[in-house]
Amino acid sequence: MIKIILPDGSTREYEKGVKVYDVTKDISEGLARVALGAVVNKEIKGMQESIYEDSTFKVVKFEDYEGRQIFWHTSAHIMALAVQRLYPDVKFAIGPAIDNGFYYDFDTEHRFAPEDLEKIESEMKKIVKENYVLERYEMPRGEALEYFKNKNEVYKVDLIENLPPDEVISFYELDEFTDLCKGPHLYDIKKVKAIKLTSIAGAYWHGDENNKMLQRIYGITFEKKKDLDEYLERLEEAKKRDHRKLGKELELFSMQEEGPGFPFFHPKGMTLRNILENYWREEHVKRGYGEIKTPLILSEELWHQSGHWDHYKENMYLTKIDNSDYAIKPMNCPGSILIYKSNMYSYRDFPIRMGELGLVHRHELSGALHGLMRVRSFTQDDAHIYCLPSQVKDELKRVIDLADDMYNVFGFKYHVELSTRPEDSMGTEEQWDMAISSLREVLEEKEIEFVINEGDGAFYGPKIDFHLEDAIGRTWQCGTIQLDFQMPERFDLTYIDRDNEKKRPVMIHRTILGSIERFLGILIEHFAGKFPLWISPIQVSILPISDKFNDYSFDLMEDLKAQGIRVEVDNRSEKIGYKIREAQLQRIPYMLIVGEKEVENKLVSVRKIDDGDIGQMEVKSFVDRIMNEIQTKSI
């Protein structure tokens, strides 16, 4: 017999090998009807899978992240079966669930076009009506290899050959489609009611440009058509908010062929960026951070010492200087460490908080580049805190408070994840357990809900990640706090303790915005280019009705500029309606219409971007209004 521990702490006993479905049905028949699977000992399992040991057990539905992963993984198999029926020569690569749906990579002579997606969708709907049950079975490695070699499924053969020797090789069968797959999956496919295939892309096998380019089809499915309709509406809204489109229209930034993955910021974009960076500086000065700047290029030896060479070399750009090997920094921490080592500290000096807006370079595959969201050069709003072991929890709490304050200014809600030790890591089990416990205790003491993200920590320590939710419900991972016992050891960082002995400090790595470039991209999409007044590159546009009011308009512009307001005059010989539309398209928060009455009475007629005409007012009243809006960082 085995024990199953439910979320409320109650325990039930079952025979070893009991199915997830049977446990769920035993809890409640109603629950079994809506359940998609369960999280068993932190592993997602489908309803048809068995449990062989004492386990924690949580049933998941579509509204749960794990439930959607089961649902969308199964949907990838339904799509694969549809493609197999329509294009029998196809070879299959991989088909995972992702955060918003699923994809499958195919190798076929047929070049998929948008009209093919409709055919595949129709076939998928037909398959769902056939109401198949997914059958799971296992096979010895040799037999599995023989099976796929006979079918000429070269990608599945490659996958099996690269599996660890002790890996269980499992298959899922959906009608005539049999796939090498770990799962998890739905028990049957009748719950997949709403289907939409969204796009086609190219993808190299194993993400390696030297391998064959495959065709990737993306899709998404839901239990209800209403949910699919809402998702597609959000998708349309996301297209309108695309930061690449708005970045060009609002003259904020561009991407050039001569520098793929390296963004070019235009004057308006630099205004926005400088405001954001200055705000970052103000908040950090208030909290006792000193700002540093470290070189872009440092000796290769440094990166061996830090461990980046062993864990990150493929993402680094390398160069030679005077016949010696150097690397362009992919991270800022070793530079901060060298500044720390240039002095000798006493326990009285701690905590030491060093902040850096540090430009880093990382080699990303060309297919992964995406506007400001995925680039090859970006500025991390980094900071490294060196503290005594007794100060760790207080410093972590201060960083969490800083992140909360800064996110609230932009109106972001967020959730928190705690990421644990990855397979490729440094340090002892004891050090990792201590670090993970510290992060967990801080979150619990702050009464912050969090989810565990197993194995997604940095190679030198676990981390807390902040995932921001934007105006249309998408989430973006931005801030991170990493607790590190490794770097202080590798670089022999010390301080003199009160007993006059040398001790080792603890190092906290952290970013709040993540990267300036990516955060700007998120802001563009979050606000759809209609930035809050305090960060808007142009805050006020003065629109004279005709040329004879230009002098008054330019005098007014100088008065506003003198008070620190970012203002422009549209003195083109165009009709006022055209000028208003242009200012609206440029997302300028306030427009001041200047005509005869305004000049005679020293007034302005005020329009606000979302509110329209808000009437005439004296210039001083208008200035008082917007200065209050700027100073309070109103959104």
Length of the chain as a residue count = 635
Query: CA 469 to CA 158: how far, in whole Å?
Result: 39
- Please give the angle made by the CA atoms of 415, 416 and 422, to the nearest 5 degrees: 140
User: CB-side exposure of 93: number of CA atoms within 13 Å?
Assistant: 19
- Please give the angle made by the CA atoms of 527, 529 and 530, to the nearest 5 degrees: 70
Nearest to 359 by CA among 380, 333, 328, 390: 380
- Strand pairing partners for 327? 298, 318
**Amino acid residing at 419:** S
Q: Give start and end residues of each alpha helix (H) in 112-205.
A: 114-130, 141-150, 154-161
Q: Output b/e per residue, 253-272; b: 16+ Cβ within 10 A.
A: bebeeeeebebebbebbebb
R_g (Cα) of the chain, nearest Å? 29
Query: CA 358 to CA 383: how far, in whole Å?
Result: 9
Q: In what order do the strands lie in the sheet with 11-14?
A: 11-14, 2-5, 55-60, 37-40, 43-46
* Surface-to-core class of residue 125, CB atoms within 10 Å of its CB (0-12 exposed, 13-18 middle, 19+ buried): middle
Cis? peptide before 351, omega within 30° of 0: yes
Residue pair 235/196 in contact by the 8 Å Cβ criterion: no
Query: CA 42 to CA 528: how far, in whole Å?
Result: 38
Query: CA 311 to CA 331: how far, in whole Å?
Result: 12
Query: CA 312 to CA 22: how far, in whole Å?
Result: 45
Catalytic residues: 333, 362, 380, 382, 384, 463, 509
Query: CA 53 to CA 37: how far, in whole Å?
Result: 17
The single residue listed with the structure tokens 């060479």 is 309
Q: Output b/e per residue, 241-250; b: 16+ Cβ within 10 A.
A: bebbebbeeb
Residue pair 189/173 in contact by the 8 Å Cβ criterion: no
Q: Can you tell me whether residue 63 is helix, strand or coil? A: coil
Q: Say how far residue 398 (Cα) sits from the centre of its chain.
A: 23
Query: CA 281 to CA 558: how far, in whole Å?
Result: 28
Q: What is the dihedral angle through the alpha carbons of 200, 204, 205, 211, rounded to the nearest 10 degrees? A: 140
Q: DSSP assignment, residue 455?
A: T
